[in-house]
Structure 1
Amino acid sequence: MDCAHLVKANSIQGCKMNNINVVYMPWSNLKKTADVYVGQRVFHRQKDVKIVTMENKVNEILNRLEKSKVEQFPDLAAEKERRDCEERNEKEAQIQEMKKRKRKNEEERNG
Structure 2
Amino acid sequence: MVFFFYPRGHVEGKDEFLIYMGRDKYENEDLIRYGLPTDVWFHVDDLSSAHVYLRLPEGSTMDDIPEYTLEDCCQLVKQNSIQGCKINNVPIIYTPWSNLKKTADMDVGQVGYHDPRRVRKTKVERKVNDIINRLEKTREERSPDLKAEKEAFEAQQRARKRAEERNARQEAKNAKDEQRRQEDLKSYKHIMREDNMVSNAELREKYASAQDYEDDFM
TM-score scaled by length of structure 1: 0.56
Structure 1 partner of 2:92: 22
Larger radius of gyration between Structure 1 and Structure 2: 2
Structure 2 partner of 1:50: 120
Unaligned runs of 5+ residues in structure 1 are 81-111
Q: Structure 2 vs 1, CA of residues 55 and 34 (structure 1 numbering), >3 Å: closer, same or farther?
A: same
Structure 1 partner of 2:44: none
- The letter for the 2-side match of 1:52 is T
| Conserved? CA contact 2:102–2:110, under 8 Å | no
- Runs ≥4 in structure 1, deviation > 2 angstroms? 31-42, 70-74
Aligned-partner SS, 1:25: strand
- The whole-number CA distance in structure 2 between the counterparts of 1:71 and 1:40 is 23
Q: Higher strand proportion, which one?
A: 2
RMSD of the TM alignment (CA)? 2.8
Is 1:4 the counterpart of 2:4? The answer is no
May I ask how many residue pairs the two structures share in their alignment?
78
Q: Higher helix proportion, which one?
A: 1
- The letter for the 1-side match of 2:115 is R
- The whole-number CA distance in structure 2 between the counterparts of 1:11 and 1:2 is 15
2:141 aligned residue (63, 71, 95): 71
Report 1:86-97 matches (<5 A).
none
- Identity in percent: 55
Structure showing greater relative contact order (alpha-carbon pairs closer than 8 Å, 6 or more residues apart): 1
- The whole-number CA distance in structure 2 between the counterparts of 1:13 and 1:54 is 13
